Structure 1
Amino acid sequence: MNTACGAVANPASRLPKFHDYIVERTLLDMAEVSAGGKELPLWRQQVQYAVGHTLNDYYSLTPEVRRETPIQFLLERRWPLRVQLFPSLMHYWEVKNTISDALVRLVSSCHEGEIPFMLYEQWYVPVPELQMDLSIIFQLVWHSRRRGSGLNVQKFMVCGNEEVARGFIHMANVFCRKTFGAPPESVEIHYLMEEERRLYDGNAYTLEASLDYLRLLAVLNSEGGSGCADCTSKGES
């Protein structure tokens, strides 16, 4: 695990925690309710869990071993076995094939031979302006190829959600500014089922703008709690 100045893996602070996974899960549940459902479907939770673990398994390997390891093999070990979680058998195979193809394209097109700076790690950083510790789980973070001190942050979602993406960008901005003294160089969010990659300038928001946004999300952090840290870090997003 990498050591980030100003951020720790096991915080001693007694400040309230602002958990990204609680906010994300609450936003996703709200989206489902708005669409006429009850909460995030179990199949999406389980598929996100499989995606997270698969990427963690893959990038935990050395670059040399990675080149000889099909990511489809790792995904198969993590894929949910309960077909009944899905609306239909056809939907089960559609999701599985789409996710598998997306991961193959992903790992074959970027960061070959590189070692992640952060890999599925949960970090805490004190944010005095919010009187809270920001707790955020980074799925993949890379050193910039253009600037050694810059960071490229990646997030992977089974299905796209604009509010979750926006909230994550603001949280990453606050974390990096508080921890490293600068925003991330870029934030890259992948909507896997939509086969969509979105690239955001990490300097798009000031620290003040992101703090204001997190103040709004703090209400969801206090009212949420249906999320699961493990489901989010290597699963629910």
Structure 2
Amino acid sequence: MSTSITAQESPVLHDYKLEDWLRQTYSQPPSKAKAVKSLTWKQRALYAAGHAINAYYTLSPELREVSNIGKLVDLRWPRRSIGFESEAHYWSMKDAVIANLAGLLRENQPAAYPVMLYEQQRVVVPELRTELSLIFQLMWQLPWTTAQPGDETSGHKSLIVQKFFWEREPHLEKAFIHLSNVFCQTAFGCVPKRIDMFYISDGTVQRHTPQSEHVTASIDYLDLLRHAVPGGNRLCACCRANAGTAVAFAPSWSLS
């Protein structure tokens, strides 16, 4: 007789823990991966930008048009230049964040209300016997007029998932796509219509269009990595170490 799995029984894979593990494994020099404890200037800048984004989309579309992005960023911008390369770097980064955010936000769903705004959601994935916990920065529902004729699941397929990064980090981007695919397929019965990734450091956007056939690859990817992330498994330390080498064989596809 088969037994069902519940959220209480299953281990939890948190998106931020997976991102932290990937960043330490691939983005930081090995000698510094475990030594970095204080927030970097990039993390502090991203923190301020995140609060500005949340405040901006809390406003109605009419008020967004007249909002001052600079003032929203300034609310959480570091008061001192500690951690930045210099005083000039401190101010130049602030100016860049304000300018790039203004360009990104003004053109992003200007007349719509997000269906999720920095909300943490959880779902149990039976194939993984694991619960996924994701913080959705922005999720939108496109107008029903964009649905394809005869598509009974068009309501779910009209979802757009978005995330803001400081800069390009391919391993984190890949993880975000896989997590979004598996979460949306499990929770809503379909992958998102589109996944957008915004980069605050240079004001660029990368858009990815998932396909339903990618879900199996996404599940395989998470199955490999869930044993490596602290708190996301119930296996031994040896299994977690082995998962670190297995990530190189995880499924991938073009993000174009």
With structure 2 as the length reference, what TM-score do the two structures score? 0.77
Provide the aligned C-alpha RMSD in A.
2.1
- What amino acid maps onto 1:16 in structure 2? P
User: Deviation digits for residues 123-180 of structure 1, max 9, x if unmatched?
Assistant: 0000111111000111001112423721111110112100000000000000110011
SS of residue in 1 equivalent to 2:96? helix
**Uncovered stretches (5+) of structure 2, i.e. residues with no partner:** 1-5, 148-153, 233-256
1:144·1:151 contact (CA, 8 Å) conserved in 2? Answer: yes
Check 1:70–1:90 CA distance in 2 against 1; reply closer, same or farther (3 A cut).
same
1:170·1:210 contact (CA, 8 Å) conserved in 2? Answer: yes
Check 1:34–1:223 CA distance in 2 against 1; reply closer, same or farther (3 A cut).
farther
Equivalent of 1:24 in 10, 15, 19: 19
* Corresponding residue for residue 162 of structure 2: 154
- What amino acid maps onto 2:66 in structure 1? E
> Distance in 1 between the 2:136 and 2:73 partners?
20
1:22·1:220 contact (CA, 8 Å) conserved in 2? Answer: no
Check 1:115–1:125 CA distance in 2 against 1; reply closer, same or farther (3 A cut).
same
- What amino acid maps onto 2:121 in structure 1? W
Which one is further off, 86-95 or 113-122? 86-95
> Distance in 2 between the 1:142 and 1:128 partners?
26
2:159·2:194 contact (CA, 8 Å) conserved in 1? Answer: yes
With structure 1 as the length reference, what TM-score do the two structures score? 0.83
Q: % of aligned pairs identical?
A: 36
Aligned-residue offset at 1:43: 1.2
User: Deviation digits for residues 107-127 of structure 1, max 9, x if unmatched?
Assistant: 211211210011000000001
Correspondence 1:126-141 to 2 at 5 A = 126-141=124-139
* Corresponding residue for residue 248 of structure 2: none
> Distance in 2 between the 1:44 and 1:196 partners?
17
SS of residue in 2 equivalent to 1:220? coil
> Distance in 2 between the 1:169 and 1:53 partners?
23
* Corresponding residue for residue 33 of structure 1: 28
> Distance in 2 between the 1:86 and 1:204 partners?
43
User: Deviation digits for residues 172-196 of structure 1, max 9, x if unmatched?
Assistant: 0001100111100000001221332
SS of residue in 2 equivalent to 1:78? coil
**Uncovered stretches (5+) of structure 1, i.e. residues with no partner:** 1-10, 225-237
Equivalent of 1:104 in 102, 105, 119: 102
User: Deviation digits for residues 59-101 of structure 1, max 9, x if unmatched?
Assistant: 0111122222112111111111131121222222232122111
Structure exhibiting the larger radius of gyration computed from Cα positions? 2
* Corresponding residue for residue 181 of structure 1: 189
* Corresponding residue for residue 193 of structure 1: 201
SS of residue in 1 equivalent to 2:167? coil
- What amino acid maps onto 1:15 in structure 2? S
Equivalent of 2:10 in 15, 35, 50: 15
